Amino acid sequence: MGFRHLFHKKEHLDGMFVDAFDAYGDAIFRFCYTRVRSRADALDITQEAFIRTWEYLREGKNITNLRAFLYKVARNLIIDESRKKRSISLDAEKEKGIEPMADDRKSIEARIDFKRTISYLDKLGEAHREVLTLRFVDGFSPKEIAELLQESENAIYVRIHRGLRELRAILHEK
């Protein structure tokens, strides 16, 4: 393996990494934000997820599904972060003046809908909240969720079904 081969491999990794960031950066950020409720923390976790993925690739390790791998790294970082400190509620963030998005009318309406949706999801148990968020906010298929959470696809279908049933019950209470 000559220098030229290593150089082309590095160029390929650089291009693949830039493409991955363009394709998944915003989605990974939303994934993180819906869990940590802090824009700054979500940005930090997103950045760290991409850095760790980059380092993993640079070590010559293989990733078969880059999107799922990024989500898994981000999820593990979120878990690590939550062990370090308790997550701050969205209301506490609002009191600090931290807002998740820009300020045009559609964005404000989307933020209100997003906050309302998250407030309903917050009433679910963690297991149901996680699969519903992965499914309907992040757009993962049940098969991809099963791979990400290292559970059977059947178990994921059951959790999604039960989570939706629990969410309907919460919505009927309103």
**Does 23 have pLDDT greater than 50?**
yes
Q: Do 1-99 and 101-174 come out as alike in CATH topology?
A: no
Q: How far is CA 74 from CA 2, 106, 131, in A?
A: 35, 28, 15
CB contact at 8 A, 33 and 81: no
Per-residue pLDDT, averaged over 90-95, amounts to 54
Q: What pLDDT score does 103 carry?
A: 47
User: Residue ranges of the domains in the chain?
Assistant: 1-99, 101-174
Q: Could you tell me how many residues make up the chain?
A: 174
The overall average pLDDT reported for the chain is 77
Per-residue pLDDT, averaged over 146-160, amounts to 90
Distance CA 28, CA 44 (A): 11
Q: What pLDDT score does 45 carry?
A: 94
Nearest to 116 by CA among 43, 44, 166, 167: 167
Q: What pLDDT score does 21 carry?
A: 87
Q: What pLDDT score does 12 carry?
A: 66
pLDDT band for 109, please (50, 70, 90 cuts): low
Q: What pLDDT score does 154 carry?
A: 93
pLDDT band for 88, please (50, 70, 90 cuts): very low
**Does 1 have pLDDT greater than 60?**
no
CATH no. of 1-99 = 1.10.1740
Q: What pLDDT score does 47 carry?
A: 93
**Does 62 have pLDDT greater than 80?**
yes
Q: What pLDDT score does 133 carry?
A: 84
Pick the CATH number of 101-174 from 1.20.140.10, 1.10.630.10, 1.10.10.10, 1.20.1250.20: 1.10.10.10
pLDDT band for 64, please (50, 70, 90 cuts): confident
CA terminus-to-terminus distance, the chain = 65
Q: What pLDDT score does 97 carry?
A: 54
